[in-house]
């Protein structure tokens, strides 16, 4: 479903944001699809929904991957998000960390966030032509300003060189993309790794807190939660999982 990544790797000491750097290269038409751009430090690292992504220099995996799509309908763009979240979980599992996906594409370990993803798509004529997939995985940082964050080093009590981790991630992604050939396979793998799937947990929507159960994720990426016996579809900002 997706091409392989990592035939070309660009390593930078410092950049505003690897996503911005990748987007510029894309505009200039200078890119090999699957190129990975990693930086030791970002001065303007960006998170989802206008948040900033702060990381100590040299400590974490901060990278972007460029995807070019032959024929991806805008309606199918969530598939890339699913594939990326899955590949992060597989990569972490391989190095001994039991991770889960927090819908839509955060990655958690013991309910703490270890990775986040920021995807920026370039659309034309009803199709997604290319995507810049920004991935931040906490690697060797030990101290965080928030208590709900963790890192590979915190989980394994072991330092791992960032570049080695990057090669392992690339390997995991490429393995997965060879294995998964259809939307159905992608969906079942994603649901299997989704935190809270078929479990009753506490959520909050615009009507307040409730006990709900994730029963599915729609093709457009909306989360389907059973609330008081009714299946309700939620967009990104409409529901939050209360991690207690």
Residues that bind ligand BTN in the complex, under the rule CB under 6 A = 17-19, 42, 45-48, 51, 53, 62-64, 106, 116-118, 134-136
- In the bound complex, what is the minimum distance in angstroms from residue 146's beta carbon to ligand BTN? 12
Q: Tokens 């992060």 belong to which residue?
A: 88
The alpha-helical segments, DSSP class H, found in the chain are 18-28, 78-94, 152-156, 162-179, 183-192
Tell me if 84 sits within 8 A of 91, measured CB to CB.
no
Nearer to ligand BTN by C-beta: 58 or 127?
58
Tokens 């703490």 — which residue? 112
Phi, psi of 62 (to 5 degrees): -125, 105
Q: How far is the CB of 29 from ligand BTN (least distance, A)?
A: 21
Least distance (Å) from ligand BTN to the CB of residue 181? 28
Q: In the bound complex, what is the minimum distance in angstroms from residue 165's beta carbon to ligand BTN?
A: 14
Q: Are the beta carbons of 26 and 66 closer than 8 angstroms?
A: yes
3-state secondary structure of 170: helix
Nearer to ligand BTN, 68 or 106 (CB): 106
The residue sitting closest to ligand BTN, measured at its beta carbon, is: 116
What minimum distance in Å lies between the beta carbon of 44 and ligand BTN?
7
Helical spans, DSSP H, in 47-182: 78-94, 152-156, 162-179
When the beta carbons of 46 and 69 are compared against ligand BTN, the nearer one is 46
Q: How far apart are CA 92 and CA 77, in angstroms?
A: 24
Cα separation, 185 vs 209, whole angstroms:
33
d(CA 114, CA 112): 6
Helix (H, G, I), strand (E, B) or coil at 195: coil
Q: Which is nearer to ligand BTN, 42 or 150 (CB)?
A: 42
Instruction: Name which of 46 and 222 has its Cβ closer to ligand BTN.
Output: 46
Nearer to ligand BTN, 16 or 158 (CB): 16
What is the nearest approach in angstroms of ligand BTN to the Cβ of residue 22?
A: 8
Is 67 or 232 the residue whose CB approaches ligand BTN more closely? 67
The least CB distance from residue 46 to ligand BTN, in Å, is: 4
Here the tokens at position 172 are: 């995991």
Alpha-carbon distance of 117 to 104, in angstroms, equals 9
């Amino acid at each position: 479903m997706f091409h392989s990544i990592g035939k070309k790797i660009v390593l930078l000491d410092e950049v505003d944001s690897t996503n911005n750097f990748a987007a510029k290269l894309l505009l200039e038409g200078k890119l090999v699809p699957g190129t990975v751009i990693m930086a030791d430090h970002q001065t303007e690292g960006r998170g989802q929904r206008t948040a900033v992504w702060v990381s100590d220099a040299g400590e974490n995996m901060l990278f972007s991957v460029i995807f070019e799509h032959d024929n991806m309908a805008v309606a199918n763009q969530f598939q890339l998000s699913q594939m990326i979240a899955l590949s992060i979980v597989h990569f972490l599992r391989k190095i001994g960390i039991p991770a889960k996906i927090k819908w839509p594409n955060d990655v958690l370990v013991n309910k703490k966030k270890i990775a986040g993803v920021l995807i920026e798509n370039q659309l034309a004529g009803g199709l997604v032509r290319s995507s810049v997939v920004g991935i931040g995985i906490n690697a060797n940082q030990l101290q965080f300003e928030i208590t709900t964050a963790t890192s590979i080093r915190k989980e394994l009590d072991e330092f791992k060189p960032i570049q080695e981790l990057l090669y392992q991630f690339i390997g995991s992604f490429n393995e997965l993309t060879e294995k998964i050939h259809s939307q159905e396979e992608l969906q079942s793998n994603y649901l299997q790794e989704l935190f809270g799937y078929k479990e009753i947990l506490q959520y909050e929507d615009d009507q307040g807190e409730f006990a709900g159960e994730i029963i599915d994720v729609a093709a457009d990426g909306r989360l389907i939660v059973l609330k008081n016996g009714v299946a309700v579809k939620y967009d990104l900002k409409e529901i939050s999982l209360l991690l207690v």
